[in-house]
Amino acid sequence: MSGVDKRTWITWLRVLTGLPTASGHEHQVINWVRHWAAGRNLRVRQDEAGNLQVSIRSRSRKRPVTAVAHLDHPALVVVENKKRSATAELRGGVHLPYLVGAAVEHGADPKTIGRIVSYEGSMATVSWRGPGPVSPGDFMRWRFPPASLGVKDGRLRAHACDDLAGAAAALIALVKAQETGQGHFSVLLTRAEEVGFVGALAACELGTLPQESQILSIECSRASTEAPLGAGPIVRVGDASSVFTAGLTNRVAEIAKHRKIRHERRLMVGGSCEATAFVALGWQATGLCLALANYHNMVDIDGVLAGKRPARLAPEEIDLGDFAGLVDLLVAVATDLNSTESDLPGRMRILYQQERHVLDS
């Protein structure tokens, strides 16, 4: 990664992934992005759903390329409060064994802390203490010791890599694209992905993105033996719900290979992402993701669900080399995507001409 020095992009990454956020309560992140963009001569627009579009202040006749990442992360939103306990709704996918006994902190006042004492349906009862008050509409996130957060051994450990690391990669790529005048490249930061792509669906319904946009949907997706941390960013062919736009996916993978950007190409069926929403509603979209340890802050999901070990919440982890590679890939795609067509059809025709004699036997 060039143009933005390592200390600077790590600072942006750490700040973003440490900001408190929840579905419907992404305001602290939105305010940070607005302030960040204002100092870099970038245009910021907010649609009626609160999604944030950040773009370069220059015109281009090239077909739009948009990197999309979401701003929320699983958390608890208070619906009722008593003296020292509150009823809160879980917004986002976290398995039941991880919830009861989990330590939490107030999204706006980390000195107000609590613990989940029971959980039923989608509602948790939280005992809390601190200066407060805790009111309906407030949110609480998981509480981790400061020593467990930060950069170590080439990895970032943070409250919410999913998907604020994706947002950071998109914004850094935008700054780099701005340096080279790629005015057709922009970033869309969506809300409420963790409860069903609500922000992305709203962006489609509202026409936030032109129909001709080529969408690069960024996620942090659960790591596996086939998709480990440290093997490079992942060109995501599809998810648990759908296969993405084939031509666009092929072109992104070809650019990565041509630019010699270390990467993987995987289906990644551990969950569904916003690319599914965009493709289903008529847009061209593909996926890019970072392998993620402790997905949704859950340590060793398979072992816990199999009853082999107790449930434990911990910071999410990504590899910094993967992150830098994702930024490089986003910039390469922004630069190259509109310049040439995929050579796959041509390669197929050449292959046919070379080998069609076999059919004569």
Closest to 173 (Cα-Cα) out of 324, 17, 337, 19: 324
pLDDT tens for each residue of the chain, 361 residues long: 666 788 999 999 999 999 999 999 999 999 999 999 998 999 999 999 999 999 998 877 889 999 999 999 999 999 999 888 999 999 999 999 999 999 999 999 999 999 999 999 889 999 999 887 899 999 999 999 999 999 999 999 999 999 999 999 999 999 999 998 888 999 999 999 999 999 999 999 999 999 999 999 999 999 999 999 999 999 999 999 999 999 999 999 999 999 999 999 999 888 899 999 999 999 999 999 999 999 999 999 999 999 999 999 999 999 999 999 999 999 999 999 988 677 778 888 988 899 888 898 7
* Paired sense of beta strands 214-222 and 234-236, if any: unpaired
Number of Cα atoms under 13 Å in the Cβ half of residue 86: 27
Domains and CATH numbers, the chain: 6-73+149-344 (3.40.630.10)
Query: Which neighbouring-strand residues pair with 44?
Result: 54
How many C-beta neighbours within 10 Å does residue 115 have?
15
DSSP 197-222: SHHHHHHHHHT-S-TT-EEEEEEEEE
Structure tokens that stand for 114 in this block: 């609590």
pLDDT of residue 117: 96
pLDDT of residue 33: 98
Q: How far apart are CA 122 and CA 137, in angstroms?
A: 16
pLDDT of residue 339: 80
pLDDT of residue 1: 67
Coil, strand or helix at 128: strand
Verify cis geometry, omega within 30 degrees of 0, for the bond prior to 74: no
Coil, strand or helix at 316: strand
Whether pTM exceeds 0.75? yes
Structure tokens that stand for 161 in this block: 């890599």
pLDDT of residue 2: 61
Angle between helices 246-258 and 320-336 (to 10 degrees): 110
- Asked if residues 116 and 125 have their Cβ atoms less than 8 Å apart, the reply is yes
Amino acid, single-letter form, for residue 220 = C
pLDDT of residue 341: 72
pLDDT of residue 39: 87
Query: Which neighbouring-strand residues pair with 181?
Result: none
